[in-house]
Structure 1
Amino acid sequence: MADIESLLRPSAKGSRQVFFAGKGGVGKTTMACLTAVHAARQGYQTLLLTTDPAAHTGSVLGKNVTDQVEAIDGVPALFAAKIDQKQATEDYKKGILDDARAKFDEDTIRTMTEELASPCTEEMAAFQRFIDLSSTPGFDVIVFDTAPTGHTLRLLELPLDWSEQIRLKATGATEAMSAGDRQQKDRFDRAVSAMRDPELTTFSFVMYPESTPILEAYRASQELAAIGVATQLVVANLLIAEEQATTPFFQKRRRLQLGYLDDMRRRFAEAALLMVPMMDSDIRGIDKLDMLDKIVFGGIV
């Protein structure tokens, strides 16, 4: 089992990608922001990427996050950008259809437009934008507040690029993949290969120490494991500290949490465990993130 710090810094092979997965509301965005601040405070040029359509990441950082890579005030070496999934999807569709209009009739274009309405198109578009941003030179650590699912990665592994599959469905043609589609497929292949490499990528699941989040995270981790992507880190969020358990209610909740921590250790035996305590206020702004950094990582650095 790797130590936690080694999972959050670049290796001799190159920059480090850190993905946070988990069900909605368990604290992925806060953990992504915390990890990004932690890496940047150690001097690593760090890029934080989010797909959150709300302004949650900006709220945690205390700065509006746009679709452009911009520096975060108060933390030298930290930058952030938002992947606008709606805009990314529209751009992705437009690129495919603009290329197709030079080659096919309107009936084929209509069929391709219908095929592009698939949710798979959104997944591919977001992933393509992620690759574009994460390929920005000069970053040591890239933190992503959402992880691709096993379904997304299986799509990426198919012999043909998604846009090429759409074209083949619409035309029935079987000619070789175009040079542009081959180049895109090669980019996706390299990205998936990097995700399988524990020296380049850390997959982390964030969860509360409760039954449902643990079970959902475990199932998702098994789906990823089936395609060669290991879970290296699990985060137990909102833990009740012993000194906080001063009433019968909180004492009982703490005992339950300790039992669920044991369950997490059993299910994720090969992963490092990072424990994050329940705080008495929301984590908003760099000062609060720095405070949480000292609490969570203080015994590690």
Structure 2
Amino acid sequence: MPLSSPLSPLLSPAPSLLFLTGKGGVGKTTITSSLSLLLSSASSPLDPKPSSVLLASTDPADSARDAFELPPPEYPGEVTPISSPLLSPSCSLSVTALSADPSSLLSSLSSLSSSLDVPSLAASLGVPPALLQSLGVAPLLEELSASLADPSSLLPPGADEYFSLLSLLNATNPATGRPYDLVVCDTAPSGHTLRLLGGPRFVDTTLGKVLKFRGSVAGVLAKVRSLGGGKQRSDAESSLDEAVEKIDGLQTLVKRFSAQLSDKTIRIALVGIPTTLSYLETVRTAASVNEITVPPSPLVASLFLNQLLPPSPAPAAAAAFLSRRVRSQTKRIEELEAEHPDLPVTRVPYLDREVAGLPALSFLSSSHLPQPPDSQRTLVFGGKGGVGKTTCAAATAVGLASQGLSVAVISTDPAHSLGDALGSDLSSSPDGVDLTPLLPSPPPGASLRAFEVDPASAIEDLTAALSSLSPPPALSDAGLSPADLGSLLSTLPPGADEVVALGSLVGILERGGYDRVVIDTAPTGHALRLLSYPRFVDDLIERALRVSEKVLPAIKLLGGKYQLTDEQIDAAKSKLLGVQLSMFALDELLSDEEKTAFYAVCVPTKLATEETGRLVKELAEGEVKVKVAGIIVNQVLADQEDAGKWLDGVRGEQDKVVERYERWAKEEGVEVVKVDMIDEEPKGVYGLAAVWPYFGGRDDASN
């Protein structure tokens, strides 16, 4: 296959690292897997052909192995070679889910902590402990030692993803010991991919703070030597050097990653489907991706437009096409019901019109969605990306409000689609938008308010409060800067901001006295992270408050001056305590099994139903347990009396959105690769190869 125009912007010149991202459920895994297989085959459009390709999943809810029909990995990060006659004899293809273990770094930091308590450091230096006490640094050393004793607490849930992402730059083929020629990444849905791409900056900033402690401790040691002699080299310095060497290596990878983004060695493509919600998110994602580099540059060059209905077939062919899809879906639903016999499974039909706006959502809720019992005050909707979580959450909220209840509906997904589904702009009002007047025939007492959490403003308040308790380096003569310690704690990771923003809504929800709270979560893996984040943020604030209690007396002891008044310091502490209380309330809200219910949403495909099974298991067995009330299977097809007419209706809706995609792509200089919906779910190497013709252009696909 020649390097034809649809793939040229993506593959010429050949990248070393290729990311595909987009709204959840648009077929990223299928497209990425099929493309990886193609680039490893004798038909590869790359010239010269790569000798080794790695397909790496960065999604916490990995489905790449499902696409190739591989068994679960025997251990995290297992690299599985693909064996197939379709592969070029001179090329290998392997599949893995990213798993980087930061334990080596954490072990170094932990060993450092054991050298920083006053008795150990004094013995290491050969000086009396009283000398360290007299310098007034003992309380700060104790807090630093306590923080580093569990250094994993400095890194949030999900930090392993950042280390994994950086590890791709040094990925080597275990069979040859040489770097892969090409790494193709099947990413998490768009909002979290943007966070992931920004993750290295967080790692760099956090580790940079730890590096500053090297100077702080070195300053203390120099001060001790100037006053009391002691050994020329201590165990603490040896531990510091070991940790610093590892940190330097990670920071080198961060710089490489940023440089390769800028020089386009790392290439990014988007995947979308012909729905309004996917189109709107695709446009937002493209703009955000192009802002990653400094200065901004057009990183997105290609768009894979997936799941297009093929040209109108004859009536018999249309009926046969639809029947094959129905049979495949029915099998998946039966398997799901057999695997979870104790959970009710609700089937929601595939409608020939996209569900958006309050009237359509009201119809969907009243006709097809389950009605939660009165005891379930908080309803959480989660599942694989793109399966209709937002639609089901929005429809449930509209339906409950239409029954005369007071309802709040909230989106925690960084790629906000709730406003798109409701047909309203929710971004401009932190107190939510009152949609009650838009309800169709609302009864007395009905109320509907919609929120999209605003991480930026919530995190700005929190980091300002944290920074207020991190004074300038008033202890510079002793070589120890409390500002560095406070700054380390104020370096909040990607993802924590969503939780802080959601926590800020808890008070609003309580004051609003809502009968029901409906939460539309991020896709599977990140929804699970959401459940554990309140405890991480609570711990972070607790440590910041402890540090401040020890920093201020040390400053006064050494005659340092603090820039804030006592009243301002108390206000900052009060702000942090308020966030802490909101974290307690949020944790209670999400984990109350009596009042909170989780609805797992999926579509009847192999990848989605298998991911749903893993989600239900994790919710039952994870650190934060949430009651699963039921499974909602969306987009269920049924045999139609007039299949051709039904397909024409769906196609007509698609055509309107495709025109919007094409206008946008022309304006942005983005090449569009169109991929038809296939009558059987593409899985396994031969199923994935069925997608190849579309990568060469629609004319090739029709032959």
TM-score grouping bracket, smaller chain normalisation: 0.5 to 0.7
Are the equivalent residues in 1 in contact too, given 2:534–2:586 (CA < 8 A)?
no
List aligned pairs for 1:1-301, cutoff 5 A. Answer: 8=372, 10-11=374-375, 16-53=377-414, 56-66=417-427, 67-72=430-435, 73-75=437-439, 76=442, 77-101=447-471, 107-115=481-489, 116-119=491-494, 121-146=496-521, 149-157=527-535, 161-166=539-544, 184-225=579-620, 226=622, 227-243=624-640, 246=643
Q: Which one has more relative contact order, counting CA pairs under 8 Å at least 6 apart? A: 1
Deviates more, 1:64-73 or 1:99-108: 99-108
Displacement after TM superposition at 1:141 (Å)? 0.9
Displacement after TM superposition at 1:34 (Å)? 0.5
**Counterpart Cα distance in 2 of 1:41 and 1:103:** 58
Are the equivalent residues in 1 in contact too, given 2:596–2:626 (CA < 8 A)?
no
**Counterpart Cα distance in 2 of 1:159 and 1:57:** 25
Structure 2 residue matching 1:149: 3-state secondary structure: helix
Deviates more, 1:109-118 or 1:164-173: 164-173
Q: Which ranges of structure 2 fall in alignment gaps of 5 or more residues?
A: 1-341, 347-368, 552-572, 655-703
Displacement after TM superposition at 1:133 (Å)? 3.6
Displacement after TM superposition at 1:144 (Å)? 1.2
Are the equivalent residues in 1 in contact too, given 2:465–2:575 (CA < 8 A)?
no
**Structure 1 residues 9 and 68, CA gap change in structure 2 (3 angstroms):** farther
**Counterpart Cα distance in 2 of 1:215 and 1:108:** 49
Deviates more, 1:231-240 or 1:221-230: 221-230
**Structure 1 residues 237 and 245, CA gap change in structure 2 (3 angstroms):** farther
Structure 1 residue matching 2:640: 3-state secondary structure: helix
Are the equivalent residues in 2 in contact too, given 1:21–1:205 (CA < 8 A)?
yes
- Could you say which residue in structure 2 is the equivalent of 1:263? none
Structure 1 residue matching 2:627: 3-state secondary structure: coil
Displacement after TM superposition at 1:143 (Å)? 1.0
Give aligned pairs, total: 247
**Counterpart Cα distance in 1 of 2:575 and 2:456:** 23
Displacement after TM superposition at 1:48 (Å)? 1.2
**Structure 1 residues 44 and 2, CA gap change in structure 2 (3 angstroms):** farther
TM-score (norm 2): 0.31
- What letter matches 1:91 in structure 2? D
Percentage identity across paired residues of the two chains = 24
Displacement after TM superposition at 1:240 (Å)? 0.3
Structure 1 residue matching 2:438: 3-state secondary structure: coil
Are the equivalent residues in 1 in contact too, given 2:602–2:634 (CA < 8 A)?
yes
**Structure 1 residues 159 and 122, CA gap change in structure 2 (3 angstroms):** closer
Deviates more, 1:101-110 or 1:51-60: 101-110
**Counterpart Cα distance in 1 of 2:475 and 2:386:** 46
Displacement after TM superposition at 1:187 (Å)? 4.1
Cα RMSD (Å) of the superposition?
Answer: 4.0
Q: Which ranges of structure 1 fall in alignment gaps of 5 or more residues?
A: 251-277, 283-301
**Counterpart Cα distance in 2 of 1:26 and 1:96:** 39
Find the structure with the greater CA-based Rg: 2
**Structure 1 residues 154 and 121, CA gap change in structure 2 (3 angstroms):** closer
**Counterpart Cα distance in 2 of 1:97 and 1:140:** 38
- Could you say which residue in structure 1 is the equivalent of 2:296? none
